[in-house]
A and B are shown apart, each in its own frame.
Chain A
Amino acid sequence: MFNKFDYVVPTSWADACSFMASHPTAMIYAGGTDILVRCREGRLLPSHLVDIKGLPGATAIAQAEDGSIVIGAATPLNAIERFLKGKAGYEALVQAAHVVGSWQIRNRASVGGNICNASPAADTAPALLVLEATLRLVGPSDERILPVGEFFLAPGKTALLPGEILRSIVLPAPAEPTVSIYLKAARTKAVDLAQVGVALLMLPDKNVRVALGAVAPVPLLAWSGRQSAPPANWTTEETERLVSVVEQMVAPITDLRATADYRRHMVGVLLRRAVGQATLLHQERGEGR
Chain B
Amino acid sequence: MNLRWIGKPIPRQDAWTKVTGEARYMSDLSMPNMLWGRVLRSPHPHALIKSLDISEAVACPGVVTVLTHHDVPGLNAYGIVVQDQPVLCSDKVRFVGDAVAVLAAESKEAAAHALELIKVEYELLPGVFDPEVAMQQSSPAIHAKGNVLRHSKVHHGDVEAAFADSAVVVEREYRTSRPISAFLETEGGMAMFGADGVLTVYCGAQYPDRDVIQVARALGLERDKVRMVSSLVGGGFGGKDEITVQIYLALLALNTKRPVKLVLSREESMVTGWKKHPMIVRMKTGASIDGTLLAHEVSIISDTGAYASLGGTILHSAMEHCSGPYRVPNVKVEGHCVYTNNSISGAMRGFGVNQVTFAMETQMDILAEELGLDRLDIRLKNGLKDGDKGALGSLLVTAMGPVQTLQAAGQTELWSQRETYKAEPSRPWKKRGVGLAAAIKGCGLGFRMPDFGAASVELLPSGFFRVRVGCPEIGQGNTIAFAQMAAEVLGCSVDQVEVVTGDTGETPDSGTSTASRSIYVAGNAIIDAATKVVELVEQGISARLVVDVEEVELGEAEVRAGDAILSYLDVAALLLQNGQTCYASGRFDAPKATEEVPSVYGLPHLVFGTNAHVALVEVDTMTGQVEVLRISAVSDAGRVINLQGLEGQSEGGAVMGMGYALTEDIIIDQGMVRTLNFNNYIIPTAMDTPPISTTVVEVVEKTGPFGAKGVGEVVCISITPAITNAIYDAVKVRVTELPATIERVLAGLQDG
Contacts and interface: CB of A to CB of B under 8 A. Distances in A.
Interface in B677-700: 678-680, 682, 684-688
Contact of B663 (A4, A187, A259): A187
Given A187-B742, A188-B685, A269-B622, A256 B109 contact: no
Nearest to A259: B743
Contact of B743 (A102, A191, A262): A262
Given A259-B743, A262-B746, A189 B685 contact: yes
Interface in A8-37: none
A262 B265 CA distance: 32
A107 B490 CA distance: 51
B108 interface: yes
B746 A188 contact: no
Interface in A195-254: none
A193 interface: yes
Contacts of A193: 679
Contacts of A45: none
A143 interface: no
A102 B667 CA distance: 25
B623 A258 contact: no
A150 interface: no
Contacts of B223: none
Contacts of A191: 678, 685
B685 A190 contact: yes
B742 A189 contact: no
Contacts of A1: 108-109, 112, 265
B674 interface: yes
B685 A258 contact: no
Given A256-B674, A262-B742, A266-B623, A187 B682 contact: yes
B727 to A, nearest CB: 16
Interface string B473-517: 000000000000000000000000000000000000000000000
Given A1-B108, A256-B667, A269-B623, A189 B687 contact: yes
A87 B78 CA distance: 64
B688 A258 contact: no
Contacts of B265: 1
A144 B746 CA distance: 46
Nearest to A261: B743
Given A1-B109, A257-B680, A269-B623, A189 B688 contact: yes
A266 B742 CA distance: 11
Contacts of B686: 190
Contacts of A192: 679, 682
Interface string A256-279: 111100100110010000000000
Nearest to A258: B743
A69 interface: no
Interface residues of B, number: 24
Interface in B684-741: 684-688, 741
Contacts of B674: 256
Interface string A165-189: 0000000000000000000010111
Contacts of B68: none
Nearest to B115: A1
Given A259-B743, A262-B742, A266-B623, A188 B108 contact: no
Nearest to A266: B623
B675 interface: yes
Contacts of B625: 185
B429 to A, nearest CB: 9
A102 B686 CA distance: 10
Contacts of B682: 187-188, 192
Contacts of A188: 663, 682, 684-685, 687-688
B162 to A, nearest CB: 43
Which residue of A185, A256, A258 has the most chain B CB atoms within 10 A of its CB atom? A256
Nearest to B681: A256
A189 B629 CA distance: 13
Given A188-B687, A262-B743, A256 B108 contact: no
Contacts of A269: 622-623
B21 to A, nearest CB: 16
B692 to A, nearest CB: 16
A55 to B, nearest CB: 30
B645 to A, nearest CB: 28
A265 B746 contact: yes
Contacts of B680: 256-257
A190 B687 contact: yes
A235 B191 CA distance: 71
A262 B746 CA distance: 9
Contacts of B675: 256
A82 B265 CA distance: 36
Nearest to A1: B112
A191 B680 CA distance: 11
B623 A185 contact: yes
B573 to A, nearest CB: 52
B295 to A, nearest CB: 40
Interface in A129-165: none
A44 to B, nearest CB: 16
A195 B741 CA distance: 13
Nearest to B38: A1
Interface string B606-629: 000000000000000011010000
A193 B678 CA distance: 11
A259 B747 CA distance: 12
A185 B623 CA distance: 9
Contacts of B112: 1
Which residue of A102, A188, A257, A266 has the most chain B CB atoms within 10 A of its CB atom? A188
Contacts of A262: 742-743, 746
Contacts of B746: 262, 265
Contacts of B667: 256
A4 B108 CA distance: 12
A127 B675 CA distance: 29
A269 B742 CA distance: 14
A190 B685 CA distance: 7
Contacts of B742: 187, 262
A184 to B, nearest CB: 11
Interface in B94-153: 108-109, 112
Nearest to A185: B623
Contacts of B678: 191
Nearest to A193: B679
B678 to A, nearest CB: 8
A256 B668 CA distance: 11
A185 B622 CA distance: 12
Nearest to B625: A185
Contacts of A256: 667, 674-675, 680
Nearest to B687: A189
Contacts of A265: 746
A193 B743 CA distance: 16
Contacts of A266: 623
B523 to A, nearest CB: 38
Which residue of B265, B667, B684, B685 has the most chain A CB atoms within 10 A of its CB atom? B685
A257 B682 CA distance: 10
A47 B678 CA distance: 28
Nearest to B427: A273
A257 to B, nearest CB: 7
Nearest to B680: A256
Nearest to B113: A1
Contacts of B688: 188-190
Contacts of A102: 685
11 contacts: A1-B265, A188-B684, A188-B687, A189-B687, A189-B688, A190-B687, A256-B675, A258-B743, A262-B742, A262-B746, A269-B622
The 7 closest A-B pairs by CB, nearest first: A189-B687, A256-B680, A190-B687, A190-B685, A269-B622, A1-B112, A187-B682
Given A1-B112, A188-B663, A189-B688, 18 more contacts: A4-B109, A185-B625, A187-B663, A187-B682, A188-B685, A188-B687, A189-B685, A190-B685, A190-B688, A192-B679, A192-B682, A193-B679, A256-B674, A256-B675, A256-B680, A259-B743, A265-B746, A269-B622
